[in-house]
């Protein structure tokens, strides 16, 4: 069937090219509009912290949307009339904006804790209407108002931080593509020793990314899609589309030495097409597992990943061969040249040496992968907030100023929504409420508690907003960073309080939201892992008609992932190499990164396994000699796998220049995993294990084999 598709592609080559050219031009318009539809943040889940936020919004009109204005001076204190006048002048225009609900400052009823000990730095709290994404649209306008010649001013907090993340994501996308495309093109020119053969895979990558973003534009109109989908689609689109195109181009160039253009295309699609389809399927299954999560960010990244892999698959099976038909003359001029990568003879000799002492090769490599993964055992999941931004981002600078001058945790209190059976200030309720506040104040991690019972007279104006008809709010300030385990213990202790049956406490805030999100994500993670392993195993069983080979492939993939997890913790959590990668470690691993890495790496690593085993299978069916088949399979695919991995590593390294720590971690983790997989695992461990298993590699019960058609 694939052979006939190849023949049809040759005959309709101009039609296919014209159709894809039209799709590309149409897609450009929609692809450029995608950022305006993407959402900030990670999305809502049905957790206690989210329920608390909804209760506060409904009962007290306290929304997530808002920001902090930080004022500071080197030579004036907040008592200086010039300081006061300048601060009032800056904030006055904000009162006229319809999206502003209220502003709370030290001067109109705020607390002394809003100012630094040297009285040179102070912050104000601004509440806004609407969702965070709606509020983000107002950030440029607000920044125009926040100007001063006398004071240093920053805006920080939720809305400005998400705004800076959006801007940084779009800048990262442009930077990553600007770095990746020339690097990849240069590498492919070296591989093919010709500009045209090198340009074809790069052009296909650009087409895949553009068309995928256009489809994402329409998806985003019907469901929430994270801003990070922009980077993932571009990263995977360039890497995977170029890898698939590289396989087609390499196989076509080999076929041109033996037959005419039409026959070469037909045979290329007939052989390489099967490999690409199953490779794409495993990547789709890996990324598709993200759809099983409730978190909008993970779910939308799964949708984006499936879209770009599917598009890359279709492009490589239709547009790539059609273009090759047109430029085949340029391929003939280079088809006789030897590849400049490691020669086929080298791979045959290396594989033969490995298979002579397979146990001596396999055991040390397995031990090495285990050792590389050991740091993962000490993983500390978290979610860096402002620190995920570069140090020169305005919202990051404002956040750091408050932390350094006023106190850690000042902007991230534990927030409690207390709902009563009746008015919170009734005699019965106020006694129970006072007991809870007293317990909180006596907690060893608590710096202060703000509530309707706070005695601070300067707090009287603000605390009027803390109570409604049956609900009130408590803000608990910790001595520690919101990611610190002692802050997490505080949240858990509050949730474990013995409550009066007449009211309930719902805990939210940065620490509680992080804890709830991590618990919810990792509750779903085992299901996603099980789904991927089961479906990929089945797909490989159908392809190779073996019980052992799919099992070995899954185990080796898990070992590569474990090693990359260890590297991730070593670099990003423990802070090694942070100067090289230009980030500041917060002592945590961003909670979504291990999940995303699993979904990405499992599929990408399986690509190389399929590339290799498919070729070995062809030789085994012809010779029935396991050792010879492995050696010849490595000889044929070794250069291809090396080149494909090199391309993907170059793309990943390009995106490792990202200013956003999450994207940087994903890129670095992917680069490490692909490098390990294509070198140590596929080059040494796979042939060693296949030699040890010998004919058992191809075993499967005959009654099961009869249930599935031969592919």
The angle at the Cα of 190, spanning 186 to 194, to the nearest 5 degrees, equals: 90
**pLDDT for 359:** 93
List of domains in the chain: 10-39+178-335 (1.20.1640.10), 64-162 (3.30.70.1430), 345-392+517-711 (1.20.1640.10), 413-508 (3.30.70)
For 528, counting Cβ atoms within 10 Å of its Cβ (0-12 exposed, 13-18 middle, 19+ buried), the class is buried
Distances (CA, A) of 105 to 108, 399, 465, 476: 6, 17, 14, 19
Give tens-digit pLDDT for 170-223. Answer: 888 888 888 888 988 888 888 777 787 788 888 888 999 999 999 999 999 988
DSSP code of residue 40: P
d(CA 517, CA 49): 9
**pLDDT for 192:** 74
Mean pLDDT of 2-18: 87
pLDDT at 614 over 80: yes
**pLDDT for 59:** 85
* pTM of the model as a whole: 0.86
- In three state form, how does the secondary structure of 293-348 look? CCCHHHHHHHHHHHHHHHHHHHHHHHHHHHHHHHCHHHHHCCCCCCCCCCCHHHHH
**pLDDT for 645:** 86
Output b/e per residue, 86-121; b: 16+ Cβ within 10 A: bbeebbeebeeeebbbebbbbeebbbebbbbeeebb
d(CA 274, CA 543): 9
Nearest to 324 by CA among 366, 367, 268: 268
Give tens-digit pLDDT for 383-410. Answer: 777 788 888 889 999 999 999 999 888 8
Beta strands 121-128 and 100-104, pairing class: antiparallel
Contact yes or no for 436/190 (Cβ under 8 A): no
Give tens-digit pLDDT for 72-91. Answer: 999 999 999 999 999 989 98
- 66 beta partners: 127
pLDDT at 519 over 80: yes
d(CA 306, CA 283): 8
d(CA 559, CA 375): 14
d(CA 141, CA 94): 10
339 pLDDT band (50/70/90 cuts)? very low
Q: What mean pLDDT is reported for the chain?
A: 86
**pLDDT for 70:** 95
The torsion angles phi and psi of 153, rounded to 5 degrees, stand at -130, 140
Q: Which contiguous run of DSSP H or E holds residue 683?
A: none
* 327: number of Cβ within 10 Å: 14
Distances (CA, A) of 532 to 241, 283, 383, 704: 22, 10, 25, 21
Alpha-carbon torsion, ordered 354, 355, 356, 357, to 10 deg: 60
Alpha-carbon torsion, ordered 221, 226, 227, 233, to 10 deg: -90
**pLDDT for 109:** 67
**pLDDT for 330:** 59
């Amino acid at each position: 069937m694939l052979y006939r598709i190849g023949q049809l592609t040759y005959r309709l080559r101009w039609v296919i090219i014209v159709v894809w050219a039209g799709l590309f031009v149409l897609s450009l318009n929609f692809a450029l509009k995608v950022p305006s539809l993407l959402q900030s943040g990670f999305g809502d889940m049905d957790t206690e912290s989210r329920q608390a936020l909804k209760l506060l919004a409904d009962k007290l009109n306290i929304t997530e949307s808002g920001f902090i204005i930080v004022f500071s001076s080197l030579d004036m204190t907040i008592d200086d009339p010039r300081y006061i006048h300048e601060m009032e002048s800056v904030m006055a225009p904000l009162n006229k904006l319809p999206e502003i609900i209220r502003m709370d400052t030290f001067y109109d009823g705020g607390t002394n804790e809003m100012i630094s000990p040297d009285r040179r730095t102070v912050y104000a709290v601004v509440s806004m209407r609407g969702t965070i994404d709606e509020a983000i649209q107002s950030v440029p306008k607000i920044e125009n108002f926040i100007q001063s010649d006398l004071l240093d001013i920053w805006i920080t907090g939720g809305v400005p931080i998400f705004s800076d993340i959006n801007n940084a994501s779009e800048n990262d996308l442009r930077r990553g593509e600007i770095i990746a495309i020339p690097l990849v093109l240069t590498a492919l020119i070296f591989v093919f020793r010709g500009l045209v053969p090198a340009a074809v895979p790069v052009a296909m990558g650009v087409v895949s990314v553009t068309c995928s973003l256009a489809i994402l534009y329409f998806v985003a109109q019907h469901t929430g899609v994270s801003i990070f989908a922009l980077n993932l689609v571009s990263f995977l689109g360039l890497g995977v589309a170029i890898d698939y195109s590289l396989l087609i181009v390499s196989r076509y160039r080999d076929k041109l030495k033996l037959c005419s253009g039409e026959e070469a295309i037909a045979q290329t699609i007939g052989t390489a097409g099967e490999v690409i389809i199953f490779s794409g399927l495993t990547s789709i299954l890996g990324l598709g597992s993200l759809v099983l999560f409730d978190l909008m960010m993970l779910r939308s990244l799964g949708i984006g990943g499936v879209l770009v892999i599917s598009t890359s698959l279709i492009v490589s099976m239709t547009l790539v061969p059609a273009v090759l038909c047109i430029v085949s003359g340029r391929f003939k001029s280079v088809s006789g040249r030897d590849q400049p990568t490691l020669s086929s003879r080298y791979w045959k000799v290396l594989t033969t040496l490995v298979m002579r002492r397979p146990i001596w090769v396999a055991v040390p490599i397995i031990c090495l992968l285990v050792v590389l993964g050991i740091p993962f055992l000490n993983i500390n999941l978290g979610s860096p907030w402002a620190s995920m931004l570069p140090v020169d981002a305005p919202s990051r600078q404002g956040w750091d100023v408050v932390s350094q001058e006023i106190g850690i945790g000042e902007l991230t209190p534990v927030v409690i929504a207390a709902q009563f059976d009746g008015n919170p200030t009734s005699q019965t309720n106020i006694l129970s409420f006072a007991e809870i506040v007293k317990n909180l104040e006596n907690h060893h991690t608590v710096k202060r508690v703000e509530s309707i019972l706070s005695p601070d007279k300067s707090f009287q104006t603000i605390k009027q907003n803390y109570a409604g008809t049956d609900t009130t709010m408590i803000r608990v300030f910790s001595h520690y960073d919101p990611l610190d385990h002692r802050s997490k213990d505080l949240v858990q202790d509050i949730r474990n309080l013995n409550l009066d049956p007449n009211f309930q406490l719902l805990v939210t805030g940065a620490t509680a939201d992080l804890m709830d999100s991590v618990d919810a994500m990792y509750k779903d993670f085992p299901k996603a892992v099980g789904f991927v392993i089961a479906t990929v195993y089945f797909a490989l069983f159908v392809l190779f008609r073996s019980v052992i080979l799919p099992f070995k492939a899954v185990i080796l993939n898990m070992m590569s992932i474990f090693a990359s997890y260890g590297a991730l913790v070593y670099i990003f959590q423990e802070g090694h190499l942070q100067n090289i990668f230009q980030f500041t470690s917060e002592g945590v691993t961003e909670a979504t990164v291990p999940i995303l890495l699993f979904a990405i790496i499992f599929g990408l690593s399986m690509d190389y396994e399929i590339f290799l085993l498919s070729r070995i299978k062809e030789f085994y069916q012809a010779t029935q000699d396991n050792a010879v088949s492995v050696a010849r399979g490595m000889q044929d695919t070794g250069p291809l796998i090396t080149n494909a991995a090199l391309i993907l590593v170059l793309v990943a390294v390009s995106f490792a220049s990202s200013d956003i720590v999450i994207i940087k971690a994903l890129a670095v983790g992917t680069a490490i995993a692909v490098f390990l997989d294509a070198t140590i695992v596929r080059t040494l461990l796979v042939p060693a294990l296949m030699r040890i298993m010998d004919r058992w590699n191809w075993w499967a019960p005959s009654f099961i084999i009869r249930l599935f058609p031969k592919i």
